[in-house]
Structure 1
Amino acid sequence: MNMLSRVGLGALLAAVSIGTALAQSFAQPNDPSAPKTRAQVRADLIEWLDAGYDPLDWINYPENAQRAGRIVAERRAQHAGQTTTQ
């Protein structure tokens, strides 16, 4: 088997395995106790940063995190309320 066909075979196997993993992730129900994906964790971090959380603010740490947590919870509640009323 020459080098080009090995690279092609590797790319094909990678594409199939990624497609299978995506299909399995979409097929699973939304379970809040299930571990989060890397993309979900990044989205949560961005949401917290948008709410004013500063991970480098060690002086105001508990208050900073609690305030941002309340803001994130309020935004999620608003978003959940908007999607159910439409």
Structure 2
Amino acid sequence: MNKLISAVAVAAALAVPAISFAQSSEQGLTRAEVRAQLVQLERAGYNPAADHVNYPEELQAAQARVSQEQLAAGNTSGYGAPAAGSSQSGAAVQPASVPVQQSVYFGH
């Protein structure tokens, strides 16, 4: 009985790290992508070394300028703000008219 309990404990100890790694499949940005985004923000007028009195407003304004530049250039690669767009839906689909003789419930 003790061997069974110790075997289960060892198996659980080996299985837990494998399960935890399987759940972290979502990857973040690479270091190069973060640097490229920072360069884009600096070109748009954001200075990360400046006084941080108006921090969120200055960063948001620079992000808006970058996203406007990307939209004007036709770049919709998925980075930056979502592209402004619209979608259209079709007309409602009407069910086909089935004669009573061909109905599933005919004769019951």
**TM-score between both structures, scaled by the size of structure 2:** 0.40
Higher Rg: 2
Structure with greater helix percent: 1
| Greater RCO (Cα-Cα under 8 Å, separation 6 or more) | 1
